[in-house]
Amino acid sequence: MASPDLDARFSIPDYVVFVLMLMVSAGIGFYYACSGSKQRTASEFLMANRSMGVLPIALSLLASYLSAIGLLGIPVEIYWYGTSYWCAVFSNFIVMPVSAYVYLPVFYHLQLTSAYEYLERRFNVTVRRLGSVIFILQMMLYMSMVCYVPALALSQVTGLHVWASVAAIGIVCTLYTTVGGMKAVMWTDVVQIMVMFAAMLAVIIQGLLLLGGFRNVLDIAGRGGRLDTFNFDTNPLVRSTFWNLILGGGVTWSAIYGVNQTQVQRYLTAPSLRTAQMALWWNLVGLFIAISTCTLVGLVLYAFYEHCDPLTAKIISAPDQLLPLFVMETLSKYPGLPGFFVAGIFSGSLSTLSSGLNSLAAVTLEDFIRPLCLKNLSDERAGLISKFIALAYGVLALGLVAIVEQLGNVLQLEHSQTNMTEFESTFGLIDYLIFALMLFLSSLIGVYYACTGGKQHTTAEFLLGNRQMTTFPIACSLFASFMSAVNLLSVPAEIYAFGTQYSVLVIAQTLLVPITSYLYLPVFYNLGVTSVNEYLEKRFNKTIRHCGAIGFILKMVLYLAVVIHAPALALSQATGMSVWSCVAAIITICTIYTVMGGIKGVMWTDVLQTCFMFTALIALLIMGFVHVGGFEQIIKANKNRFIFFNLNPHEQHTLWTQTIGGTVMWTAVFAVNQTQVQRYLSAKSLPVARRALWWTVLGLWVNMLITVILGLLLYTYFKSCDPLLSRKINNRDQLLPLYAMQMFRRLPGLPGLFVAGILSGSLSTLSSGLNSLSAITLEDFVLKKSCMKNVTNERASQIAKIIALGYGGLCLLCVLLVENFSSLAQAALSLFGLLGGPLLGLFTLGMFFPWANSLGSGIGAIIGLALSFWIGIGSILYKNHRPTLPLHCPNVTISNPPNSTSITHISPFSAFYNVSYMWYSPIVCFTVIVIGLTISFISGANKSKDVNPKLLSPVVRYFLKSNQETDNHIELELELQKK
């Protein structure tokens, strides 16, 4: 149980561990800046010369997903709602094959840098730019969240000012991303994923030791109703039902892994399609382990705080502080472990931020700079431009954190002096060393790819790794790009509070692989685009391309803000540092290695960060099992919380929302998202990209399993007193850090490992996002300018780096927007649903409906985007309180549940606004398709024969070919009859 007398601070060993992680991350970036081609070309900087292997791609995919938000939020989700969220792993089994065999082949065969190049080829440049804009907006907001979350965590634990942490994160990430290009990003992801998993593993081990083993954790979680995993309620308003997670989650994950620039860019760094597909499958394994680990951490947290919830007891001010609190309470006696925990949290943000910066550079270069004014840009000049773009995005992400902060601090750490003085746990020297090691390795990867190969001098290298990436790094990068700290923190919290219904999302994640691999990916791959929005211009016009680019930018910026926020929470809680100091640190480090190492740096840092993430999660599970008495105790404690077949339409997560809605949502992510497509296109071949997708799904399965178990463990640990009810935390996403800090306080290095794992999740996602945003901005806007027509590839690479740097700063500002989200995971998935849905609909119109024309697709996308904002704003204004499963804390009276919203105005659309966020993507996607086809037929539909077959999905080409052969046969018979 949480102690009411807390005084958590970093010790010298903790700072050493933390700084070491930052140094390693920066070192990787400098390594790739000084080796090889020294990131002189855009191909090396953005696509790692398309030479990445399966390992870095897979781990980079995993690290990009497993951000600090996931590391902190998933255990809190499990803590609050039980293990239902773990069902999200099932959607991964859907999403990965869909991405690998439906979407990935399209992108890979097109040889794109920006996933939105496909939109231009399929439609026109307008559609391409529309997709690019959406991606840029999405990534900027998301990266600012990614920066903010670890800054919160670092601020809480170390006492450093939030902005000091934000600066540290942003500078380091921007540095190794800018100098090391994609290679640095991906290899720092590798380091950071290791730190993340090691940190979570340490939390689990300590928790299990304290709670008497896994059996005791399950018993406590079962008694608290945290083991109701399969909720088959069909009500779309029910949270984390099996259907919500499988269907809704599958769609959301498909949007990420199928078409998102960050993920696609990792696929495209593979030397072959097979390598990319293998990376996806390995990423699936990583996701399964990661989610399962976070779930177990959530159960450990619940078991530990069963009798006194830290939030109710006012030990913490937000749920996101729960895991850092646990780490500091349990691991502070072990010098270095709190630092290792914070390093894990930071790894999540760094990997996400670096991926985002590199993706943003790729999209910006390919969808804007090169098409608009630099058509004759040399590859070396394009590489230089890509670096500047990545740098600019890094700075921009840093600035956006300020905006997020003003909207309301999720954890309110800097406003709660009581919590700061009550923490008894401390980061030791070993913790800081472990944490610093993760950052150092991530930076080192960026430096390596900035100094090796083409040295990120061309856009092909910076954005696509020269299309030589292999299965492993692509799969890791795909997994890491999604497995951000948002997932690591929120999924266990979801399971903790609502049961296991969320875990049904794994079905959707599995379905997205074949959908992406065979329907979408071949189109992008065969076109050889850099920005997915290039397809929109080819298929429609330039306006559609620009709209797509803007949509992507908006989506990614917002999402990265969420990802940044998550590890900042954990780092703040573990070290006592200001949340904003953590945010600044995350963005800085991630932007640096993303700009330096290009897509290769991003993807290989994703591999590293994936390892950190899984290590941290597994450590949390083991410690939790030991503390609560083993897995049987967790099952026993959560016996009423195993919900998988919830069919209640009034809940957020049901069987239908997780399967149907999840499939559409994840298809939007994996099939047409610039981040994902850019990774597909970095693959050596289409089979490589497809394999990466399948391996990514495997990672998603493992991640879901781990995070669900963590959620159950959190409930078992905290079942006697819910931390949110006792006011020890202010947000459920703080559950896992609280648990980790309490569990690891006597184990030197483990708190540092946990924070490093959480940070690795955010770093991988952030680096992938920055790289994708750079690609979209460069390709869909900058290079499209007439003044940039003669820009060399090296100059374009420099511009891409600057763009990535700028997006890093923008993400910093966007963190201000995410501080008041009660659930970081829901915030992240809502962003992908609302902004990923229009993009998925746009690309689906182009690839599957040859009759769709430019006018119809443009109007459909605009109406879909408007509907997204309408739903999003309405859901905020008229949001009903979401009841959790039973939570207890003696002698605490709650008049209004934590994080509840009192409704003062009744809207006739209130029922519509309270539809599960897992349905956002299917609703918007369907709207775009219906409106687009309707307008197309009214205004004069295209003829199938007039559309370039390369712009159509292989399935559509097959049927069109069959129909054409039938028509030819009929015509021949008629001619013979006439004769």
* Sign of the four-CA dihedral 564, 565, 571, 572: positive
Spacing of C-alpha 684 from chain mean position: 24
Q: Is residue 242 part of a domain?
A: yes
Q: Is residue 896 part of a domain?
A: no
Q: Is residue 735 part of a domain?
A: yes
Specify the residue for token string 């991405």: 99
List pLDDT tens digits, range 903-940. Answer: 344 455 566 667 777 788 888 889 999 999 999 999 98
* In contact, 294 and 197? CB cutoff 8 Å: no
Q: Which of 160, 158, 150 is nearest to 12 (CA)?
A: 158
Q: What is the pLDDT of residue 935?
A: 93
* In contact, 730 and 317? CB cutoff 8 Å: yes
Count the Cβ atoms, other than its own, within 10 Å of residue 965: 10
List pLDDT tens digits, range 211-253. Answer: 888 888 888 888 888 888 887 877 666 767 888 888 877 887 8
Q: How far is CA 292 from CA 210, 616, 708, 709, in A?
A: 20, 12, 5, 5
Q: Which of 747, 432, 735 is nearest to 576 (CA)?
A: 432
**Contact partners, residue 461, CB within 8 Å, separation at least 6:** 37, 39, 40, 41, 42, 43, 44, 45, 46, 47, 48, 49, 181, 182, 379, 383, 453, 454, 455, 598, 599, 600, 797
Q: Which of 624, 706, 642 is nearest to 227 (CA)?
A: 642
Q: What is the pLDDT of residue 881?
A: 60
Q: What is the pLDDT of residue 6?
A: 38
Tokens, residue 20: 């070491």
SS3 of 648-669: CCEEECCECCECCHHHHHHHHH
List pLDDT tens digits, range 51-71. Answer: 888 888 888 888 776 777 677
Tokens, residue 354: 């670096």
- Which 8-state DSSP code applies to residue 334? S
Query: What percent of the chain is predicted at pLDDT more than 70?
Result: 82
Indicate whether 811 pLDDT > 80: no
Q: What span, in angstroms and rounded, lies between the C-alpha atoms of 944 and 236?
A: 37
* In contact, 617 and 68? CB cutoff 8 Å: no
Indicate whether 810 pLDDT > 60: yes
Indicate whether 147 pLDDT > 50: yes
Q: Is residue 954 part of a domain?
A: no
Q: Is residue 894 part of a domain?
A: no
Range in 221-230, 563-572, 898-907 the model is least confident about? 898-907
List pLDDT tens digits, range 404-454. Answer: 554 433 322 222 222 322 334 446 667 777 777 877 788 888 878 887 777
Q: What's at 735, amino acid-wise?
A: L
* In contact, 195 and 437? CB cutoff 8 Å: yes
Q: CB-side exposure of 121: number of CA atoms within 13 Å? A: 31
Q: Is residue 947 part of a domain?
A: no
Q: What residues pair up with 244 in beta bridges, in sequence order? A: 655
Residue 10 sits at φ, ψ, to 5 deg, of: -75, 145
Indicate whether 203 pLDDT > 80: yes
Q: What residues pair up with 385 in beta bridges, in sequence order? A: 800
Q: What is the pLDDT of residue 413?
A: 27
Q: What span, in angstroms and rounded, lies between the C-alpha atoms of 191 and 169?
A: 16
Average pLDDT value for the chain: 78
Q: What's at 265, amino acid-wise?
A: Q
With cut-offs at 50, 70 and 90, classify the pLDDT of residue 257: confident
Q: What is the pLDDT of residue 419?
A: 32
Q: What span, in angstroms and rounded, lies between the C-alpha atoms of 320 and 334?
A: 23
Averaged pLDDT for residues 790-806:
82
Q: What span, in angstroms and rounded, lies between the C-alpha atoms of 723 and 80?
A: 9
DSSP annotation string for 859-911: HHHHHHHHHHHHHHHHHHHTPPP-PPSP---TT---SS-TT-----S--TTHH
Tokens, residue 713: 């463990």
With cut-offs at 50, 70 and 90, classify the pLDDT of residue 963: low
Q: Which residue has the higher pLDDT, 634 or 744?
A: 634
Specify the residue for token string 């205004």: 939
Q: Which residue has the higher pLDDT, 379 or 514?
A: 514
The whole domain housing 546 covers: 18-888+913-942
Range in 303-317, 332-346, 452-466, 865-879 the model is least confident about? 865-879
Tokens, residue 137: 């907006």
* In contact, 562 and 872? CB cutoff 8 Å: no
> Can you give the C-alpha Rg of the chain in angstroms?
23
DSSP annotation string for 797-854: HHHHHHHHHHHHHHHHHHHHHHTT-S-HHHHHHHHHHHHHHHHHHHHHHHHH-TT--H
Q: Which of 306, 297, 857, 394 is nearest to 621 (CA)?
A: 297
Averaged pLDDT for residues 570-593:
72
* In contact, 707 and 229? CB cutoff 8 Å: no
Averaged pLDDT for residues 739-756:
78
What CATH number does the domain containing 479 carry? 1.20.1730.10
Q: Could you tell me the maximum CA-CA distance found in the chain, to the nearest angstrom?
A: 98
Count the Cβ atoms, other than its own, within 10 Å of residue 972: 10
User: Which 3 state secondary structure label does DSSP give 948?
Assistant: coil
With cut-offs at 50, 70 and 90, classify the pLDDT of residue 197: confident
Q: What is the pLDDT of residue 545?
A: 87
Q: Which of 887, 893, 738, 900 is nearest to 225 (CA)?
A: 887
Tokens, residue 381: 């000049």
Q: What is the pLDDT of residue 934?
A: 94
3-state helix, strand, coil in the chain (%, to 5): 75, 5, 20
Averaged pLDDT for residues 566-585:
68
Q: Is residue 3 part of a domain?
A: no
With cut-offs at 50, 70 and 90, classify the pLDDT of residue 576: low
Q: Is residue 319 part of a domain?
A: yes
Query: What percent of the chain is predicted at pLDDT more than 90?
Result: 2
Tokens, residue 7: 């005084």
Strands 237-238 and 642-647: unpaired
List pLDDT tens digits, range 276-318. Answer: 889 888 888 888 888 888 889 889 989 998 888 887 887 776 6
Averaged pLDDT for residues 634-655:
80
Q: What span, in angstroms and rounded, lies between the C-alpha atoms of 764 and 181?
A: 13
Q: Which of 142, 168, 180 is nearest to 56 (CA)?
A: 180
Q: What span, in angstroms and rounded, lies between the C-alpha atoms of 349 and 151?
A: 9
Averaged pLDDT for residues 838-855:
89
Number of domains in the chain: 1
